[in-house]
Each structure stands twice: as structure tokens, then as C-alpha cells.
């Protein structure tokens, strides 16, 4: 199955579709979900909170976590997931990288082992303005698995709105690698708003290149992209 691009007239329609998509996957027997954070996912998780979807027999793996933030920090992805989804729709088991691990590289290796034991059925993705997926910034080899990454200035600036100042935004994170993302049986990527246009156009019209990590989805057997932007595959 080739890359599918679905364009919606409104973001409400888009997020309704995304929520129904995930609910259907649960009904079809999907057990392991790769989850994402950020502003793009908040409307989706709100829809899921208000739905009758049951994740109690499912396992989740988050894409990434900041290094150095305690889990109770309001901007840790652990806190984000608890507030946005897990407290309302519990999973059987939730995995996130441990951003406070004494050895971050060892933690990344451990996360890879866990992913190998629990193949992801559906991987949720957003995309950064520079085309990054997860925290895989431009230049990341497609063969990379879960690893420690130094966040670019543009990514830290984009995330600074969630903190009191950019100085509080962590400089490093642990992220699933592009190789992990490609191993998911199915990918659902959401790209909303004009700021994501350049990244999305690189996916649908550009060459596959580490300069825009999103383009690797051209090589995925089953990737679905949802957007409110008027972009066609033609």
C-alpha cells in the first residue's frame, strides 16, 4: 500500500477521523500503539477521552522524552501523557524513555529491546517545521534506532512556548529512531497548519533525504497522512 494523503476541510473533521481511525484499529485487534506528544496531538487525545475506546488491553510506547526533567515536571512527556490520555483511557502498560536515567545511552538501548519485544501496530506522528519526526532532526541516519539527541535551536524555540523561557527547554532528549518508526506496521501522521506546509510538501513531492526526515515515509508500506492543507500527491 502506497502513501495515503487525506485532506480535510476543517481540523475538527480531521481529528474526528483520526480518533475513529484509532478506535477501529483497536477493534481490529491492534495491541501496541506508538504515541506522540505536542500541540498537534492534544485535539486527538481530547476526542479519544470523550469516546468509548478501550485501551485497557493495549500497550503504548512514546516516541520520546526530555533528558533532565523529573517525571512530575509539568512539561515532561510523562506528565503530558498522564493528563492528556492515560488518566482517562488507561492502557495495560505504558512505556516512555526514562529521561533521568544515569546512563542515557544505556536507557536508549533498553528501550530498543522493549520495542523489539512489542512490535508497534500503529505509530502516531506529528512533524516539525524542519521535517523532523520524533526528535529525529535533519541529518539523522534512517538506520538510527532509539538514541540520545541534542535538540536543534529551532526545535527548542518551537517548544519554548510550553516553558517560561527558552532557557528552561532541555537541550537533549531520548527519541525513538527512524528505524524504529519504519518498523511500525502502520503509521498515522498528522500535519496541521501553514507552518507544516514545507515539511509536508517535501514528503509528497521531494526526494527521500535525511535533510527532511519525514520523507522516509515514502518508503513505508502503510503510511496515512492527515492534513488540512491543500496539497496533492499529483
Q: Catalytic residue, from 65, 107, 137, 228: name it.
A: 137
Q: Catalytic residue, from 65, 94, 107, 132: name it.
A: 132
C-alpha cell at 117: 519485544
Helix ranges (DSSP H) in 152-225: 153-159, 178-183, 197-205
Strand partners, 153: none
Assess whether 110 carries a catalytic annotation. Answer: no
Strand partners, 148: 174
Q: What is the pTM of this model?
A: 0.94
Helix ranges (DSSP H) in the chain: 11-27, 42-49, 77-81, 104-117, 153-159, 178-183, 197-205
pLDDT, position 5: 95
Rounded-to-integer distance, Cα 7 and Cα 26, Å: 23
pLDDT, position 133: 96
pLDDT, position 45: 98
pLDDT, position 121: 98
Yes or no: say if 100 and 70 are a contact pair by the CB < 8 Å rule.
yes
Q: Catalytic residue, from 47, 62, 64, 147: name it.
A: 64
- N residues, the chain: 234
The CA dihedral of 34, 67, 213, 142, to the nearest 10 degrees, is: -80
pLDDT in tens, the chain (234 residues): 579 999 999 999 999 999 999 999 999 999 999 999 999 999 999 999 999 999 999 999 999 999 999 999 999 999 999 999 999 999 999 999 999 999 999 999 999 999 999 999 999 999 999 999 999 999 999 999 999 999 888 888 888 988 988 999 999 999 999 999 999 999 999 999 999 999 999 999 889 999 999 999 999 999 999 999 998 765
Alpha carbons within 13 A on the beta-carbon side of 58 = 25
Q: Catalytic residue, from 130, 136, 159, 180: name it.
A: 130
Average pLDDT value over all residues in the chain: 95
Assess whether 132 carries a catalytic annotation. Answer: yes
Yes or no: say if 188 and 18 are a contact pair by the CB < 8 Å rule.
yes
pLDDT, position 233: 67
Assess whether 118 carries a catalytic annotation. Answer: no
Rounded-to-integer distance, Cα 234 and Cα 228, Å: 17
Q: Residue 146, Cα to own-chain centre: how many angstroms?
A: 13
Yes or no: say if 61 and 176 are a contact pair by the CB < 8 Å rule.
yes
Closest CA to 152 of 135, 176, 134, 164: 135
pLDDT, position 137: 92
Amino acid at each position: 500500500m502506497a502513501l495515503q494523503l487525506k485532506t480535510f476541510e476543517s481540523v475538527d473533521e480531521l481529528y474526528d477521523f483520526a480518533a475513529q481511525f484509532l478506535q477501529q484499529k483497536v477493534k481490529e485487534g491492534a495491541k501496541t500503539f506508538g504515541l506522540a506528544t505536542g500541540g498537534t496531538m492534544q485535539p486527538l487525545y481530547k476526542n479519544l477521552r470523550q469516546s468509548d475506546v478501550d485501551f485497557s488491553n493495549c500497550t503504548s510506547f512514546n516516541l520520546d522524552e526530555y533528558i533532565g526533567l523529573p517525571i512530575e515536571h509539568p512539561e515532561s512527556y510523562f506528565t503530558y501523557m498522564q493528563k492528556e490520555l492515560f488518566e482517562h483511557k488507561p492502557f495495560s502498560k505504558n512505556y516512555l524513555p526514562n529521561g533521568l536515567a544515569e546512563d542515557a545511552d544505556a536507557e536508549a538501548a533498553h528501550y530498543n529491546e522493549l520495542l523489539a519485544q512489542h512490535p508497534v501496530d500503529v505509530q502516531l506522528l506529528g512533524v516539525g517545521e524542519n521535517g523532523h519526526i520524533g526528535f529525529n532532526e535533519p541529518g539523522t541516519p534512517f538506520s538510527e534506532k532509539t538514541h540520545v539527541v541534542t535538540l536543534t535551536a529551532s526545535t527548542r524555540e518551537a517548544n519554548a512556548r510550553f516553558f517560561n523561557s527558552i532557557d528552561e527547554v532541555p537541550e537533549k532528549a531520548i527519541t525513538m529512531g527512524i528505524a524504529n518508526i519504519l518498523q511500525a506496521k502502520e503509521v498515522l501522521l498528522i500535519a496541521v497548519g501553514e507552518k507544516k506546509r514545507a515539511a509536508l510538501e517535501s514528503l509528497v513531492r521531494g526526494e527521500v533525504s535525511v535533510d527532511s526526515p519525514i520523507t522516509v515515509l515514502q518508503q513505508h508500506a502503510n503510511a496515512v497522512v492527515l492534513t488540512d492543507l491543500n496539497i496533492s500527491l499529483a
